[in-house]
Amino acid sequence: MAKEGADMTEETEYMIDRNLVKETASAESPAGNAKEMRAVMLTGFGGLNKLRVTKKAMPEPQDGEVKIRVKTCGLNFLDLMVRQGNIDNPPKPPIVPGFECCGIVESVGENTEGFEIGDRVMAFVNYSAWAEVVCAPVDFVYKMPDEMTFAEAAAFSLNFVAAYMMLFEVANLREGMSVLVHSAGGGVGQAVAQLCSTVPNVIVFGIASSFKHAAIKDSVTHFFDRNADYIQDVKKISPDGVDVVLDCLCGENTGKGLSLLKPLGTYILYGASNMVTGETKSFFSFAKSWWQVEKVNPIKLYEENKVIAGFSLLNLLFKQGRCSLVKAVMDKLLCLYGQKKIKPVVDSLWALEEVKEAMQRIHDRGNIGKLILDVEKSPTPLMANDSTETSEAGEEEEEPEGDNDSKERMPFIH
Ligand SMILES: NC(=O)c1ccc[n+]([C@@H]2O[C@H](COP(=O)([O-])OP(=O)(O)OC[C@H]3O[C@@H](n4cnc5c(N)ncnc54)[C@H](OP(=O)(O)O)[C@@H]3O)[C@@H](O)[C@H]2O)c1
């Protein structure tokens, strides 16, 4: 098992793909005559070599659904966690990952209102986004503005809706407040920074790898290196602390973030990036992160006048049935987009076949803004890897699974 992938020839890999096609075709189209589509398949939880592009039966829209010919999909940090099986109640593989896609409506199911063939749309789905065709219930589908590109749309939905709801629905962001955000150069981080700039005199404290600071200087007021002890630096600038802390790390920073809050300030936990310490799941990081969060003492919160909150957009949509609330937020966001107050930041575009390299870029902390899977893009040829940098994705691996030998693909930077 440990050697899986390392010595794999292309022929072997192709054979596995063919087996997978057979497996999924017999599971999903018993008649064997359904039309097929390309999709990214997660064959099991683990490293990058659990991902394959394969053929799969094309879905047809059910009652109240639209069938979307997909152009682009968002690749989120959460997709790395899903790949690792590092989430609560993961679905059983094989699965097609991905929670958001954009494209053109190709057909509509019965009793489907509000959409027509040819509409340009973006959609949330509960998995299955990374495919040439996706069917989604209309409650989770939104029309794209004419001027929005498919790359922008794939960088828009999840990042901006999550950022907006945390800032305005949970933290009640108002003029003159201050916000501290981790991973400020990433997809959600950049959405947070842009939305803060729509409110007068909001100060944004952004924490990010230092090579990103120049790129994010227009959207972030004060930035700090992720490895630095930013608490003292923030207090030097704002001795009272900050009004809102947005924590997507979930680890030793929970206590630090709470200590930075002003009275009546809000700390929002919305991710668990610290649980990803290598290419495969680390049980140690998993346990450490949850232990840190569960340690928060509610009595102290009341004595110190602090608010601690959690936010999960996908649970809100798919478990808690709040799609009309999300739709209202999307309308406000599209209005801000139309007024040119916000604009999604696209880091790079990747073919479906390049999904491993795209994920590796996130493991390496290389992205500024969002990574997009472009369904119509052909993979760029593999280049000899002359990089001397070491990848954090290799650290703390439980089973070495490298299948990319010494070659890499260069991203298409948008
Ligand atoms: N709750 C929700 O509804 C919701 C919605 C969307 C996203 N999220 C969460 O928000 C966070 C950001 O999501 P995103 O999709 O926008 O991703 P992202 O910020 O673009 O993710 C990549 C960046 O995260 C930082 N990072 C922090 N820990 C890391 C680690 N262990 N390995 C690699 N990079 C790490 C790196 O930036 P630096 O090196 O600059 O720190 C990296 O470049 C994630 O935790 C995600 O799960 C939550």
For ligand 1, the distance from its centroid to the CA atom of residue 147, given in whole angstroms, is 28
For ligand 1, the distance from its centroid to the CA atom of residue 235, given in whole angstroms, is 24
Give CA–CA dist 212/408, Å, rounded.
22
**205 and 127 in one domain?**
no
Give CA–CA dist 187/183, Å, rounded.
8
Domain boundary among 267, 284, 318: 318
pLDDT given at position 395: 36
The model's pTM: 0.88
For ligand 1, the distance from its centroid to the CA atom of residue 273, given in whole angstroms, is 6
Percent of the chain scored above 90 by pLDDT?
72
Give residue 389's pLDDT band: very low, low, confident or very high (50, 70, 90): very low
Give CA–CA dist 96/75, Å, rounded.
13
Which residues lie with the beta carbon below 6 Å from any ligand 1 atom? 76-78, 158-159, 162, 183, 185-189, 208-209, 212, 226, 248, 270-271, 273-274, 276, 311-313, 362-363, 365, 367
pLDDT given at position 281: 79
Tokens of 366: 């290389």
| 95, 63 contact by CB (below 8 A) | no
Give CA–CA dist 189/273, Å, rounded.
13
Closest ligand 1 atom, CA of 208? 40
| 279, 255 contact by CB (below 8 A) | no
Is 391 within the bounds of a domain? yes
Is 325 within the bounds of a domain? no
pLDDT in tens, 75-102: 999 999 999 999 988 899 999 999 999 9
pLDDT in tens, 16-65: 344 444 444 444 444 444 699 999 999 999 999 999 999 999 999 999 99
Closest ligand 1 atom, CA of 274? 31
Closest ligand 1 atom, CA of 183? 41
CATH number at residue 177: 3.40.50.720
pLDDT given at position 253: 66
Locus of tokens 């986004």: 129
User: Which of 365, 371, 390 for a ligand 1 pocket mutation test, highest count of atoms within 8 Å of Cβ?
Assistant: 365
**298 and 276 in one domain?**
yes
User: Which of 220, 273, 313 for a ligand 1 pocket mutation test, highest count of atoms within 8 Å of Cβ?
Assistant: 273
List the domain range (segments joined by +) for residue 25. Answer: 8-156+344-406
Domain count, the chain: 2
pLDDT given at position 408: 73
Residue 68 has pLDDT above 50, yes or no: yes
Q: Whose CA is nearest to atom 8 of ligand 1?
A: 271
Is 142 within the bounds of a domain? yes
Is 387 within the bounds of a domain? yes
**146 and 124 in one domain?**
yes
Beta strands in 49-111 (DSSP E): 51-57, 65-75, 100-108
pLDDT in tens, 177-227: 999 999 999 999 999 999 999 999 999 999 999 999 999 999 999 999 999
Is 99 within the bounds of a domain? yes
Q: What is the average per-residue pLDDT within 240-260?
A: 87
CA-nearest of 155, 51, 134, 44 to 92 is: 44
Locus of tokens 């630090």: 256
| 48, 97 contact by CB (below 8 A) | no
Closest ligand 1 atom, CA of 81? 47
**141 and 31 in one domain?**
yes
Phi, psi for 88 (deg, rounded to 5): -70, 135
**296 and 179 in one domain?**
yes
pLDDT given at position 256: 83
Residue bearing the bigger pLDDT, 318 or 26? 318
| 71, 129 contact by CB (below 8 A) | no
pLDDT given at position 382: 75
Residue 104 has pLDDT above 80, yes or no: yes
**177 and 301 in one domain?**
yes
For ligand 1, the distance from its centroid to the CA atom of residue 7, given in whole angstroms, is 32
CATH number at residue 120: 3.90.180.10
pLDDT given at position 243: 98
